[in-house]
Amino acid sequence: MGLNRRQLLQSSLGVGAVLLVAACSDGAEASGPARRGGTLRVGALGTSARIERDPHANLSNDSDFLITSLVYDALTVPGADPNVAPRLATRWEPDADRRRWSFTLADGATFHDGTPVTSEDVVWSLRRLRTVGGASKMPVAVEEITTDGPNRVVLAVPEPNTQLPLLLRLMTFTVKKDTADFTKAVGTGPFRLESYQGGNARLVRNDQWHGTPPLLDAIEVTMFESVAALGNAVLGGQIDLASNVGAIAGRAAERRGDLAVIRRANDTMVGVAMRTSDGPFADVRVRTALRLGVDRKALVNQVHSGYGTVANDILGTGDPAYDTSIAQRTRDVDRAKSLLRDANFDTGRSYPLVTKAEAPGEVESAKVIATQLAEIGVRLGVVPQEPNVFYDQTWLKAPLYTVSWGTNDSTLFFASKLMTNGSNRNETDFKDAGFDAATVKALGAHTDSEYIAASRDVQRIQYDRGGYLVWGMADGIDIATTRVRDLPTLGGFARVQLERAWLAE
């Protein structure tokens, strides 16, 4: 898309046009114009023990998040370039300091019962989201979320933040003010809830939606408790679309002429956090040696079965402002050994590499990395932990451990949340005054050029002396029958944006 950063800050494009262009492309080869009608049968992962109907609670089931995202509208959603697109908010404008943001709601937006959406509904919903979900889901304090007339809301933050529209994506679901019963699911989204039972739902088209009306008559969502069961269902023809099903099923589907594999790039990062403040990896020469010691292509092939791309030690690979001019690191065993010698690194002992079975391939990646780094003289003992133990004992504390993140389309999001000195999620305990200053400058940028320059400084510092080893990006893998068209191709949670999908004859 031809939008620049200024147009993103003051977006006035219609929601239907932006979503159609930015978020979707053909899931299979197109054959004729899009057609109206039909029911799309979708499978998504989830477990009965974690079913959640409250749109502001922790939606840990993919199936719940899919249903919620189609029934309710968030203020903004993921886009391609720019990476934020309108939804219930069709326009947003910051003040001169980038601290106070005004969001204008879509004209004619109504709830499924016909009630008009007002700014009071949105403010009530955002305040409730902050109360229920905390700052990680709603970065604005309750008292700083206010109305400005019947169709505008104002969000104020204490420090300049050019990223606020991005932070509102796909979480800021609007409900009617004072709603207490969420089983009826009265939202404003492109589909209405017709029935729900045990994590499975039937959604029907909302012809009164404020955006471009969906083409599908209905979407049926079925919850599957394992990746294997989900993959078998689409391979066996029980569903039309398996959402986020993974590489194993993807390989099987590629051999089938009646199925299409949809690869969503920059979906998940599986990497390594190296503690920078103290311990064996505090010396930047040691961290650089580890980065030079891995074979990135081999890791992508072995861990992600080839469904991915190599990365360059910078988080946020899908960002339109990602700096592709930075030279791609490749394996250099001799230089890695030289750097270790210069740093007087003790190659006579073994170091634990702690990992967890959280993201697909995460434990396997640790094993492959340990094998590869042995060739430069770094001996690692892979230590798997249960996720709850990992986050209690290892995360933010250990010298070396694996990490995983999704929705990798904003370098500045990761910089501000994971690497600045004041962050409570500083996984590498990175303390760098130049990095902090560049991040603050990017967050408060007034022009495109100022933002790009600061963003590139952020990325260059992360590349040169940061604490992450980001060796590759896994594709998100969806499998669909060849009848299913215009499925989302963006990474991360953009996979739930099914409102433009349709079924061919």
Dihedral (Cα; 402, 430, 491, 194), 10-degree rounding: 90
pLDDT tens-digit series, residues 378-416 = 999 999 999 999 999 999 999 999 999 998 999 999 999
How confident is the model over 8-14, as a mean pLDDT?
Answer: 36
On the question of pLDDT at 23 being above 70, the answer is: no
The two structure tokens encoding residue 127? 């305040």
Adjacent-strand bridge partners of 337: none
Based on the domain organization, do 80 and 50 belong to the same domain? yes
Angstrom distance (rounded) from CA 300 to CA 309? 6
3-class DSSP state for residue 72?
coil
How confident is the model over 315-324, as a mean pLDDT?
Answer: 97
How confident is the model over 314-330, as a mean pLDDT?
Answer: 97
Based on the domain organization, do 249 and 270 belong to the same domain? no
Adjacent-strand bridge partners of 191: 205
Angstrom distance (rounded) from CA 420 to CA 426? 7
In angstroms, the first-to-last Cα distance of the chain is 30
pLDDT tens-digit series, residues 108-137 = 999 999 999 999 999 999 999 999 999 989
Residue 31 pLDDT? 57
The two structure tokens encoding residue 192? 């209405």
Based on the domain organization, do 298 and 343 belong to the same domain? yes
Give the residue carrying structure tokens 């690497």: 419
The per-residue DSSP string of 4-58 comes to -HHHHHT----HHHHHHHHTEE-SS---SS-----EEEEEEE--GGG----TTS-
Based on the domain organization, do 182 and 303 belong to the same domain? no
Looking at per-residue pLDDT, the higher value among 133 and 29 belongs to 133
Angstrom distance (rounded) from CA 50 to CA 42? 19
pLDDT tens-digit series, residues 213-268 = 999 999 999 999 999 999 999 999 999 999 999 999 999 999 999 999 999 999 99
CATH of the domain at 242: 3.40.190.10
Is residue 410 within 8 A of residue 274, CB to CB? The reply is no
Range of the domain at 126: 5-258+482-503
115 Cβ contact list (under 8 Å, min separation 6): 176
Amino acid at 160: P
Give the residue carrying structure tokens 């080839």: 306
Based on the domain organization, do 487 and 467 belong to the same domain? no
How confident is the model over 469-476, as a mean pLDDT?
Answer: 98
Angstrom distance (rounded) from CA 292 to CA 284? 12
Based on the domain organization, do 202 and 180 belong to the same domain? yes
Angstrom distance (rounded) from CA 272 to CA 299? 13
Is residue 329 within 8 A of residue 296, CB to CB? The reply is yes
Is residue 475 within 8 A of residue 265, CB to CB? The reply is yes
Is residue 462 within 8 A of residue 274, CB to CB? The reply is no
Dihedral (Cα; 293, 297, 298, 300), 10-degree rounding: 120
Based on the domain organization, do 173 and 33 belong to the same domain? yes
How confident is the model over 269-274, as a mean pLDDT?
Answer: 98
Based on the domain organization, do 190 and 310 belong to the same domain? no
Phi (first) and psi of residue 361, to 5 degrees: 85, 0
3-state SS of 371-392 is HHHHHHCCEEEEEEECHHHHHH
Angstrom distance (rounded) from CA 267 to CA 261? 15
Residue 170 pLDDT? 84
3-class DSSP state for residue 76?
strand
**Of the candidates 271, 229, 223, 221, the residue with the CA atom closest to the CA atom of residue 246:** 229
Based on the domain organization, do 392 and 460 belong to the same domain? yes
Is residue 418 within 8 A of residue 425, CB to CB? The reply is yes
Residue 69 CB coordination number (10 Å)? 28
Residue 32 pLDDT? 75
The two structure tokens encoding residue 498? 């099914």
Q: How many domains does the chain have?
A: 2
On the question of pLDDT at 457 being above 80, the answer is: yes
Based on the domain organization, do 347 and 410 belong to the same domain? yes
Whole-angstrom CA distances from 92 to 106, 128, 488 are 11, 21, 24
On the question of pLDDT at 432 being above 50, the answer is: yes
Based on the domain organization, do 253 and 291 belong to the same domain? no
149 Cβ contact list (under 8 Å, min separation 6): 119
The two structure tokens encoding residue 502? 């349709």
Phi (first) and psi of residue 102, to 5 degrees: -110, 130
pTM attached to this predicted model: 0.90
CATH of the domain at 290: 3.10.105.10
Based on the domain organization, do 348 and 437 belong to the same domain? yes
Is residue 229 within 8 A of residue 465, CB to CB? The reply is no
Phi (first) and psi of residue 15, to 5 degrees: -65, -40
Adjacent-strand bridge partners of 309: 473
What is the chain's Cα-based Rg?
23
Is residue 160 within 8 A of residue 443, CB to CB? The reply is yes
Q: Cis before residue 82, ω within 30 degrees of 0? A: yes
